[in-house]
């Protein structure tokens, strides 16, 4: 190999990248016009560079694709965690109810002129109210009532939710209006006693009549015997 060819071939990578001086560039181009071997070497180097560039672009593309997938995965996991936390918080703070223990004057019975019966709830610090009509004899019934609260209604005592309180007990519809449980006696029937359930049941409508009658921790609000 001629000395001139060795010099040119050493300079070919720089020539391809266009970083040689003008004098060197002119020297290389003049040599390539006369030397077939160096021209083939130039073509070979260009092909290798093209393959290298393609591989580099593919590697970059795969890297960005992997990065986008990782970011998307992180975003989805973060959103799921937020949803789970909000759901648990909603369950604990709002959905989860517990019984309001009976205190003096928590509830009292009123008999209006329209022959209905009102159970007056003397607090706004509650979420839901429940009442069940239980048959204890021939056309004789007892009524079991209970109110519940959650953390929100316990903390924010002025949060009156009574307009939303409608619950159905056994054989009777209970409608909360102006913080009163309003109901009417069944036809040809008699209400004997009205109790407040002081045991911690979230929803007394799931208790059977037998379970209600056997409850020990109940407060007599009103009796037709008195």
pLDDT digits (tens, 9 = 90+) for 46-82: 777 766 666 566 667 776 777 788 888 899 999 999 9
Contacts of 20 (CB under 8 A, 6+ apart): 11, 14, 28
Q: Say what the pLDDT of residue 177 is.
A: 53
Q: Say what the pLDDT of residue 107 is.
A: 87
Q: Say what the pLDDT of residue 57 is.
A: 66
Strands in 76-158 per DSSP E: 98-99, 107-110, 116-121, 128-137, 140-149
Q: Say what the pLDDT of residue 220 is.
A: 94
Q: Say what the pLDDT of residue 146 is.
A: 84
Q: Say what the pLDDT of residue 158 is.
A: 52
Q: Say what the pLDDT of residue 218 is.
A: 92
- On whether the pTM is more than 0.85, the answer is no
**Neighbour-count burial of 205, counting CB atoms closer than 10 A to its CB (0-12 exposed, 13-18 middle, 19+ buried):** middle
Q: Say what the pLDDT of residue 1 is.
A: 52
* DSSP string computed for 202-215: S-GGGS-HHHHHH-
The residues of the chain scoring below 50 in pLDDT are 159-173
């Amino acid at each position: 190999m001629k000395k001139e060819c060795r010099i040119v071939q050493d300079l070919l990578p720089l020539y391809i990248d266009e970083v040689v001086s003008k004098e060197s560039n002119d020297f290389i181009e003049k040599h390539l016009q006369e030397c077939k071997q160096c021209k083939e070497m130039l073509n070979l180097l260009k092909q290798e560079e093209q393959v290298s560039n393609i591989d580099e672009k593919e590697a970059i593309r795969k890297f960005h694709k992997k990065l986008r997938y990782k970011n998307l995965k992180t975003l989805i996991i973060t959103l799921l965690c937020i949803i789970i936390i909000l759901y648990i918080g909603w369950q604990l703070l709002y959905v989860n109810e517990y019984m309001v223990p009976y205190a003096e004057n928590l509830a009292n019975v009123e008999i209006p002129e329209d022959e209905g019966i009102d159970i007056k709830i003397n607090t706004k610090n509650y979420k839901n109210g429940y009442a069940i009509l239980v048959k204890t004899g021939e056309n004789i019934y007892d009524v079991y009532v209970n109110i519940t609260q959650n953390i929100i209604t316990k903390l924010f005592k002025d949060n009156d939710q009574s307009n939303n309180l409608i619950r159905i007990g056994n054989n009777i519809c209970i409608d909360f209006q102006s913080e009163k449980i309003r109901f009417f006696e069944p036809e040809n029937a008699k209400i004997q006693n009205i109790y407040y359930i002081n045991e911690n049941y979230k929803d007394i409508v799931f208790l059977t009549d037998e379970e209600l009658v056997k409850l020990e921790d109940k407060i007599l609000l009103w009796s037709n015997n008195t």
